[in-house]
Amino acid sequence: MAQNGAINCAKYGISGAGTHFPDPVARGRLAVAHLGGNNAPGHRRAQSGGVMTILVIGAGLSGAVIARQLACAGQAVTVCEARPHVAGNCHTTRDPETGVMVHVYGPHIFHTDDAEVWDYVNRFMTFQPYRNRVKTTARGQVFSLPINLHTINQFYGRTMRPDEARAFIEDQADTSITDPQTFEEQALRFVGRDLYEAFFRGYTRKQWGMEPADLPASILKRLPVRFNYDDNYFAHRFQGMPEQGYTAMVEAMLDHPAITVHLSTPVTPDAVGDYSHCFYAGPLDGWFDHRLGRLGYRTLDFERFRHDGDYQGCAVMNYGEEDVPWTRITEHKHFSPWEEHAGSVLYREYSRACGPDDIPYYTIRQVREKALLRDYVALAEAETGVTFMGRLGTYRYLDMDVTIREALDTGQLFLRDGTAPPFVHAPL
């Protein structure tokens, strides 16, 4: 990746940077010279020669992107990651038995309309074309998602053309709902009760552990309804999968002489005093030792199993019915359709409330969480020398492309004058 690294630095305005991955021996040991140094609050200093020392906490997408950008700008960057690997929840690894690339924390599909972000990720990894075509099992049949003309015709046993289907669905819809606020209202207004109950109600109760009537409409707005046969789950211009997985892509981002990565290295806020600035991509409430309580998340459990051959014929099979306890089954080799594998690795996915020792996935952002979030944001805004970023640092649902865009913008802002506020992207 040496060539790619040089290109990246050139693109982001830096000269003379080669690449190397930090000494693997340094990974996993707590050997950051600055950690445990002068921890006096407010103590910030730059290294000699005007180089700033930057601490990045978290080696997921946010951390890797900002580390790369600041390293390319000539800053000395230390990245500390609590887990034993980089790439956060998009970490991928090959299953030793089948050779299948496994999305360890559940599937991640890259999709964006942001040409600059697409260009950016392609500098670190070749992307293969990938279209997410999701199926769902409901009422003993397999249907196509997102709801499209095939779904509607199959569900109602009809052969409607686009305009007929549109008029038909409008007849099913509850048009008395003029301004849908909840998930349920959004569904009843735009697809009607039959499709809502078959595809959304059960799945959503399993996924969120709540009534759809108590969830915001914004969750369902992520899914389109189409009156044609387009079954691409996403509508974005650029879609694909990193050929060698997300972890290799993130490793390539971090592969820079000015970046030192320490894995299995949790860091507490009092360790940052010796750095010019800290970018924190861990959980917002974790920074404050959860002193006001815990922000709520959903976590996922994966029941991993192998199969000889092709188990389900597609990457993602959702289960809309409530008496099936899992939300979906993912077959990971189908996320790399350019590869061939005889064996198969699958995840049965279950959702539940996130406990203190679980991995946080989905922010909940209900009334209670928003009130608590407001209090944490007030605490965070009083901090100096630290910027909270990313999905966990700002407690927001973020797609990968948005995460990268925000990290690039945060880095650019910081590089103007060497400062950044606690939040460049407001959590509320």
Instruction: Just list the catalytic residues.
Output: 222, 226, 298, 328, 349, 397, 399
Instruction: Give the C-alpha separation, 109 to 396, whole Å.
Output: 18
Q: Both tokens of residue 168?
A: 């038909």
Provide CB contacts within 8 A for 114, sequence distance 6+. 238, 401, 405
Cα–Cα distances in angstroms (integers) from residue 294 to residues 290, 291, 388, in the given order: 6, 8, 17
Q: Both tokens of residue 338?
A: 């350019």
Amino acid, single-letter form, for residue 23: D
If the CB atoms of residues 207 and 276 are measured against ligand UDP, the closer one turns out to be 207
Q: Which span (21-29, 159-167, 197-205, 251-259) binds ligand UDP, by CB under 6 A?
A: 197-205
Q: Give one DSSP letter per residue of 379-399, joined into a string.
A: HHHT--SEEE-HHHHTT----
Asked whether position 359 contacts ligand UDP by CB under 6 A, the answer is no
- Give the count of residues interacting with ligand UDP (CB under 6 A): 13
Which residue of 222, 291, 304, 352 would you call a contact of ligand UDP, by CB under 6 A? Answer: 222
Asked whether position 207 contacts ligand UDP by CB under 6 A, the answer is yes
Site for ligand UDP in 370-409 (CB under 6 A): none
* Cβ 240 to ligand UDP shortest distance, Å: 17
Instruction: Give the C-alpha separation, 132 to 152, whole Å.
Output: 19
Q: Which span (73-81, 82-90, 220-228, 305-313) binds ligand UDP, by CB under 6 A?
A: 220-228
Asked whether position 219 contacts ligand UDP by CB under 6 A, the answer is yes
Which residue of 98, 204, 260, 394 would you call a contact of ligand UDP, by CB under 6 A? Answer: 204
Binding-residue pattern over the window 87 to 126 for ligand UDP, x denoting contact by CB under 6 A: ----------------------------------------
Q: Which span (118-126, 214-222, 268-276, 412-420) binds ligand UDP, by CB under 6 A?
A: 214-222
* Cβ 350 to ligand UDP shortest distance, Å: 13
Q: Which span (147-155, 217-225, 284-292, 342-350) binds ligand UDP, by CB under 6 A?
A: 217-225
Cα–Cα distances in angstroms (integers) from residue 205 to residues 160, 202, 224, 276, in the given order: 31, 5, 20, 46
* Nearest residue to ligand UDP on Cβ basis: 203
Residue 338: half-sphere exposure toward Cβ, Cα within 13 Å = 12
Coil, helix or strand for 204?
A: helix
Residue 253 near residue 68 (C-beta atoms within 8 A): yes
Which residue of 59, 65, 145, 248 would you call a contact of ligand UDP, by CB under 6 A? Answer: 145
DSSP element (H, E) containing 371: helix 367-381
Asked whether position 190 contacts ligand UDP by CB under 6 A, the answer is no
If the CB atoms of residues 55 and 145 are measured against ligand UDP, the closer one turns out to be 145
Asked whether position 223 contacts ligand UDP by CB under 6 A, the answer is yes
If the CB atoms of residues 62 and 204 are measured against ligand UDP, the closer one turns out to be 204
Q: What is the dihedral of CA 70, 72, 73, 75, to 10 degrees?
A: 60
Provide CB contacts within 8 A for 295, sequence distance 6+. 283, 284, 285, 363, 364, 369, 372, 373, 376, 395
Which of 304, 262, 296 is CA-nearest to residue 397? Answer: 296
Which residue of 19, 89, 112, 136 would you call a contact of ligand UDP, by CB under 6 A? Answer: 136
Asked whether position 329 contacts ligand UDP by CB under 6 A, the answer is no
Provide CB contacts within 8 A for 263, sequence distance 6+. 27, 28, 59, 81, 83, 84, 85, 86
DSSP element (H, E) containing 401: helix 400-417
* Cβ 196 to ligand UDP shortest distance, Å: 9
Site for ligand UDP in 283-322 (CB under 6 A): 318, 320
Q: Which span (201-209, 261-269, 329-337, 414-422) binds ligand UDP, by CB under 6 A?
A: 201-209
User: What length does the chain have?
Assistant: 428
Provide CB contacts within 8 A for 59, sequence distance 6+. 67, 79, 80, 81, 83, 86, 87, 88, 250, 254, 261, 263
If the CB atoms of residues 207 and 336 are measured against ligand UDP, the closer one turns out to be 207
* Cβ 111 to ligand UDP shortest distance, Å: 11
If the CB atoms of residues 212 and 282 are measured against ligand UDP, the closer one turns out to be 212
Which residue of 110, 118, 200, 376 would you call a contact of ligand UDP, by CB under 6 A? Answer: 200
Asked whether position 199 contacts ligand UDP by CB under 6 A, the answer is yes
Asked whether position 6 contacts ligand UDP by CB under 6 A, the answer is no
Asked whether position 148 contacts ligand UDP by CB under 6 A, the answer is no
Residue 71 near residue 16 (C-beta atoms within 8 A): no
Residue 343 near residue 307 (C-beta atoms within 8 A): yes
The residue ranges that bind ligand UDP (CB under 6 A) are: 136, 145, 199-200, 203-204, 207, 219-220, 222-223, 318, 320
